[in-house]
Amino acid sequence: MARAIVTLPSGAADSFEVFINGVPQQRGQDYHVEGRQLVFERELQQEPKLGFGRWLSMFLGIAGSYAKNDAVDVVFEFEGRRVVSSRLPIVPEQQS
């Protein structure tokens, strides 16, 4: 079974909101917290950075980009302000 791990941003306390691709996620149902990490019991992927050749072929209309590209965002309060950390890095983890 594949899992995905996302490290919470610094400043995020116990109260925060999690979104994947703009869809709210429920703690205990969609993910759980282990220390400073959000653990999703499903596969999440981010498209790797484009190399020059791939970028050029997309720019010229020769090829497109069809890779899965999940975005994990965390909303939390920090020093009295509402803060959004967008597109946090996703670390895939394989379990046996």
Question: What pLDDT does residue 71 have?
Answer: 95
Continuous segment of H or E residues that includes residue 32 = strand 32-34
Longest dimension (CA), the chain: 48
- Tell me the domain boundaries of the chain: 2-94
The long-range contacts involving 55-58, CB below 8 angstroms and separated by at least 24 positions, are: none
Whole-structure pTM value: 0.80
Which option is the CATH number for 2-94: 3.40.1620, 3.30.300, 2.30.29, 2.60.40? 2.60.40
pLDDT 10s digit of each residue in the chain, 96 long? Answer: 689 999 999 999 889 999 999 999 999 999 999 999 999 999 998 866 656 676 666 677 776 666 678 999 999 999 999 999 999 999 988 655
Give the position of tokens 């983890």: 93
